[in-house]
Structure 1
Amino acid sequence: MSNNGKFYVPPPKDGRDFKELFKYLTDVGAGRPLDQDGVPVGPWTPDLLARAISQIRANPGGIEVRTVQYWFQENDRVPSADSIRWLARIFGCNDPVASGEWQAELSAANRRLKAKRKNEQREDTRYPQHAPANLPTPQSDIAPAPTASKPSRRFNLARKSEALFSNHSTLNLPASVWAGWVVLGFLTYIMGVHSVTYFPIDGLQKQVGFFWAPNWTLVELVILPLFLISVAGMLAFWKGERRLLVTLSGAELGEKDGWGRRVESFEFSHWAAFFICFVIVFIVQWSGIHMSALVNGDVGNLMMDWNLLAIVRPEVISVPEATVLSMLAFLYTAAICFLFLTGLVFMYTLAQDFFEICNEPDLHSNGVHQSKIGEIGSRLLCSIYRASLLGIWIATCIKLQAVYLLSDGKSIVDWLLGDVLFVLGVHDEAGGWLDQRALAHLTSFLLLFSTCAVFFFGFVQIYRVLEKALPSGAAGQLTKGHCVPRWMMLSIVGLLVANFFLIGQFSGFSILLIVGILTTIYSLFDPMFGRAQVNEMTTSKS
């Protein structure tokens, strides 16, 4: 029901207490604006509700988000008389008559909750413990009553990881990545390996400095932070819309079916990511390869990087300094790799959760519900697509640096520019290769494989729901309204995968690299042409 352009729900007057009534109203989005299909834009969250109350002119003092959060929780905290007045205006859609009715209903529900809590306390006082009747107990034998406490929950890595991505500020994770990079950058600058060269062969002075490596600059400063922000925003959007879909489906989902339980079901995946990053990448790769090479003073045919420079340039950095610096570098690498793989796990979890919730038959029996599924699913699909592009570029930057270190280019800029000029006919000689090997080829391939697997899983699962909920052909048009068409998604992902495998494999690969960069930028910052078609596509079946 619409009232002043907002979703109006009449007072049910069914005897619910305040907590039950408040949960129902926030889940269905009572008092929230309606979209063009007449569907509320989403449920209430503590932040949204606190902002709406603070915008009421008659309430110049506003309200704290923490106060509103208490109302959402299962506790004895109830709103004051003034707060009930503001809630009544919001749920009554600023209509005087409706607001008056809701003020009476909320006040009555508040009294019912207080009476319910008082009765529970009276029962607890009357029957404090089960003991045999009529048996006097000496005062000295009375043991103190145990304090009521919640049972301690075991450590759950999936829950802790979800808390990292679900922080109120999406800037916290990127800021942590930047802070770690700054520390590492200062250490490389102090030790003189931020911009440094060595002579792999006669006549070739090769740049291997920290600041020149895209896997240590572009990834940590730009691509990975954008990936983390994208995943955090995706989770925040889904957790807000999930409650609305569950409410529309009419399913009675208990705690075991909630988002928290869904996250916990993927705990093994989070532990697997932790093992790969901190055991394989950090302990095995650093101690077994890099530290061993530094201690023995022999790098073999392993590619030379600033981590190992003490072997060939001891006058720049000593072995003990390089050992400590490489340990910190690999520990930082393990941490950011864990964040990346955790983000992929959450993308997979989200797609699976959306698919299972939207398989409820009741959601597909109403045209308005189908419209909402289409809108939410399209946004999720496009978010997964954009995050996957960033993930592919993380793997590409790692391989690009590894291939450069195996080449005879003086610097990575000269190497890429020389490849372009050779294709254009300016240079007469193509670049050559050093007799070395790179472990980063395997690492970058595993990251690429993981990213593509998550993308294709999410694409299939979400698109199956959209095809079921929307008319024939409408799913593709709706997706196009949010980012790029379906066929373009698959084409661009295929282009970037081919770009990854072709780095250094033929003359002119850098041109393909430029094309991949441009198409990725277009996909990330597409002006969203075709959005005007969304309403027609989502409502055509109703």
Structure 2
Amino acid sequence: MIKNGKFFQSPPKSGKTFKELFIHATTTGVGRPANKDGYPIGPWTPELLADAISQIDANRKGVDLRTVQLWFENNKRGIGPTNIRWLAMVFGCRDPEGTSEWQVELSASQSRLKARRKQKEKAGGLGEQPALDVNQAAEPQNVPHAPKLDQAAAPKAPDAENVPPKQRFNLARASEALFNGRSSLNLPVAIWTTGGVLWFLAFIFGVHSVTYNPVEGLDKEVGFYWSISWTVGEMAVLPLFLILVSELLTFWKEERLPSLAVTKTSIEANNSWEQKVGSFSFSYWAIFIICFLGIFFIQWYGIYLRPLLESNSENPMVDWILVTISRPEIMSISEAIFVSMFAFLYSGMIYWFYFIGLLLLYTLANDFYRIYINPELQPNEIYQRKMRANGTKIMTGIFRCVVLGILLATCIKVNAAYLISDGETILDWLIGDALTALGVNSDGWSWLEQNPSPFFTSFLLTFITCFVFFACFAQIYWVLDGCFPSKEGQSLKGNSQVQRLVSQVKALWFKMVSVVVLLAVNFMVVGKFYGFSILLFGSVVISAYSLLWRTRAPEEKLKQAHELN
């Protein structure tokens, strides 16, 4: 039924408690905008429901997002009378009769929740509520309308039931909150703002474009603006990575409840997304310590602070900061120490963002695997389509993030390789390398006697990124590969068109792996032979093309072929 352009369903009169009734309504999508077929466009999420309640004209104070999140969690907390009024208006589609029905049932369900709680207290302890079967909760109910309530007479007592409990700081959940889809530009803006300050400092101190003479007759450019690792990698590639992670995370959090419903997985306290993120708490702390103690402090001390204090380079890789040792007239030692400290603090921050993103990608893939790895449900057509659509979407998003991650590491290594070469500028060096390989230029390039510390850092970055990709790929492919030889696949086995389309779906996975392997090989051979720049250019072109793949086309064609068969 549609009321005011939204999907309406009368509340079930089945004696549910508030938690059970709430899960039924949010999973079914009661009160959500309806499509042309009369079905809701999707389930409720905490963010969507909080927005809907806050948009009610009579509700001037709105509602706290954390309060709404508590309703979605399997805990002992209920809902207060004030929020019952707003929730009834949302589920009732702003229709007076529908709102009255939901207000009556929500109030009754809250009373039942309190009664059940008292019974457990008398029994000798406060126990957890039984797990809720989302699939059962989502079944439509046809019941008679309940009597109306006068909305103006709705109680306005303090909403004591919904006062969020004070919680201790949780680094895992705080880190995951940084990737909130409603503010996916927060992290890129933080990078652009801090990076912009670094750009400005480089210009003020005159190291934005600076040269020095490592050998006689070579005037080498090592300025900040010419460093592709600081400019292209950290100001363009990394923000795109963070945006894609945020969008993919938002997609999964919206699809998670419907996925639980399709797979008949019960919602329990240890099965929530928050609990899944919290289970990696040690990893989040390890990443935090490594980024700010290892990448920031230890590397800054060993690579910059000590050489600057001793004014003795010991053949380090000269960049836009250490050039001060060779040309002290450009910037004083104290200024160089300050700029280097700020730059490495910035590096610690951005790599913290990056590794959190990788950890969230793995968490997401593992969550998908745990929910959908159920062989008993594979013959179910609805289960298959949901699994195939979500799995393809997730793996495509992870693939794009990994491509950007390897490109980021490649920028670091290419920049470091240039700094220890005898090229005058990075463009001249790359073009000269290609011309040498093609036989146009007979003068090749050579290495300077310097130690490129970023080689090891970029290698670790590439290794970890590829490891996360293949770990995610294995889990998702293991689930998806089992859906093809299913009931649907057997019924269409004689259809050559369907077999061809299934092959296209599987070929997509092979292309993803091939691109990742190509980028990893390209990273490893940077500076290893004349002509590596040709492979580098080809890899960048293939990467850009792969980021634009329309990966949903094979799945849509497969669905159409199944319907026509």
Q: Which residue of 2 aligns with 1:87?
A: 91
Counterpart residue number, 1:127: none
After the TM superposition, which of the residue ranges 441-450 and 424-433 deviates more from structure 2?
424-433
SS at match of 2:557: helix
Once the two structures are superposed, what CA deviation does each residue of 1:102-148 show, in whole Å capped at 9, x if it has no partner? 5454132133156558979999xxxxxxxxxxxxxxxxxxxxxxxx9
- After the TM superposition, which of the residue ranges 443-452 and 108-117 deviates more from structure 2? 108-117
Alignment of 1:272-283 (within 5 A): 272-283=286-297
Matched, 1:515 2:511: no
Write the distance in 2 (CA, Å) between the matches of 1:319 and 1:412.
Answer: 26
Cα distance in 2 for residues equivalent to 1:524 and 1:63: 44
Say if 1:524 and 1:282 are closer, same or farther in 2 by CA, change over 3 A. same
* Counterpart among 399, 408, 422 of residue 436 in structure 2: 422
Separation in 1, partners of 2:455, 2:438: 29
| 1:416 Cα deviation from its structure 2 partner | 0.9
CA shift for structure 1 position 179: 0.7
Q: Percent identity?
A: 42
Question: Do structure 1's residue 398 and structure 2's residue 408 form an aligned pair?
Answer: no
Please say if 1:505 is aligned against 2:528: yes
In the other structure, the counterpart of 1:535 is 559
- Offset of 1:274 from its aligned partner? 1.8
Amino acid aligned to 1:26? T
Higher deviation after alignment, 241-250 or 362-371: 362-371
Structure 2 equivalent of residue 107 of structure 1: 103
Aligned AA (1:430): G
Unaligned stretches of 5+ in structure 2? 72-77, 120-161, 490-497
How big is the alpha-carbon RMSD for the aligned residues of Structure 1 and Structure 2? 3.7
Distance 1:203 1:316 in 2: 20
Q: Which residue of 2 aligns with 1:296?
A: 310
Report how far residue 530 of structure 1 moved.
Answer: 3.9
Q: Which digits, 9 at most, give the CA deviation of each residue in 1:156-213, with x for residues without a partner? A: 3212211111262100000001111001111111001111110000000111111111
1:350 correspondence with 2:350: no
TM-score between both structures, scaled by the size of structure 2: 0.79
Report the alpha carbon displacement of residue 12 of structure 1 after superposing the two structures with TM. 2.4
Which stretch of structure 1 is more off in the superposition, 346-355 or 69-78? 69-78
Matches within 5 A, 1:102-251: 102-103=98-99, 105-113=101-109, 115=111, 153-166=167-180, 168-251=182-265
1:458 aligns with 2:472: yes
2:333 is the alignment partner of 1:309: no
Instruction: Give the deviation of 1:86 after TM superposition.
Output: 5.3
Counterpart AA for 1:364: Q
Q: Is the 8 A contact 2:18 2:113 kept in 1?
A: no
Is the CA contact 2:212–2:327 (under 8 Å) kept in the aligned structure 1? yes
Structure 1 residues 6 and 462, CA gap change in structure 2 (3 angstroms): farther
CA contact (8 A) 1:463 1:475 kept: no
Letter in 2 for 1:535: K
Which deviates further from its counterpart, 31-40 or 167-176? 31-40
Distance between the aligned counterparts of 1:380 and 1:479, measured in 2?
Answer: 19
The count of residues paired between Structure 1 and Structure 2 equals 504
SS at structure 1 position matched to 2:213: strand
Alpha-carbon deviations, 1:409-458, whole Å to 9, x = none? 00111111112222333322111111112111110000000000000011
Q: Could you tell me which amino acid in structure 2 is paired with residue 112 of structure 1?
A: A
CA contact 1:6–1:34 (8 Å) conserved in 2? yes
Would the alpha carbon gap of residues 250 and 460 (structure 1) be closer, same or farther in structure 2, given more than 3 Å must change?
same
Pick the aligned partner of 2:455 from 437, 441, 454.
Answer: 441
Task: Please tell me whether the aligned partners of residues 419 and 508 of structure 1 are also in contact (alpha carbons under 8 angstroms).
Answer: yes
Deviation at 1:280, TM superposition (A): 1.6
CA distance in 2, matches of 1:162, 1:255: 18
Looking at structure 1, the residues matched to 40 and 513 of structure 2 have their Cα atoms a distance apart, in angstroms, of 32
Please give the alpha-carbon distance, in whole angstroms, between the structure 2 residues aligned to 1:175 and 1:277: 20
TM-score by length of 1: 0.82
User: What's the counterpart of residue 16 of structure 1?
Assistant: 16
* Inter-CA distance 245–537: structure 2 relative to 1 (3 Å threshold): farther
Q: Determine helix, strand or coil for the equivalent of 2:220.
A: strand
How far the C-alpha of 1:88 sits from its partner, in A, is 2.5
Question: Structure 1 242/520 Cα, relative in aligned 2: closer, same or farther at 3 Å?
Answer: same
Give runs of aligned pairs for residues 471-482 of structure 1, distance below 5 A. Answer: 471=485
Paired amino acid for 1:24:
H
Unaligned runs of 5+ in 1: 91-98, 124-147
Distance 1:446 1:401, change over 3 A: same
The C-alpha deviation readout for 1:2-34, integer Å capped at 9, x for no partner, is 999997756422133555423312123346578
Q: How has the CA–CA distance of structure 1 residues 422 and 37 changed in structure 2, closer, same or farther, with 3 Å as cutoff?
A: farther
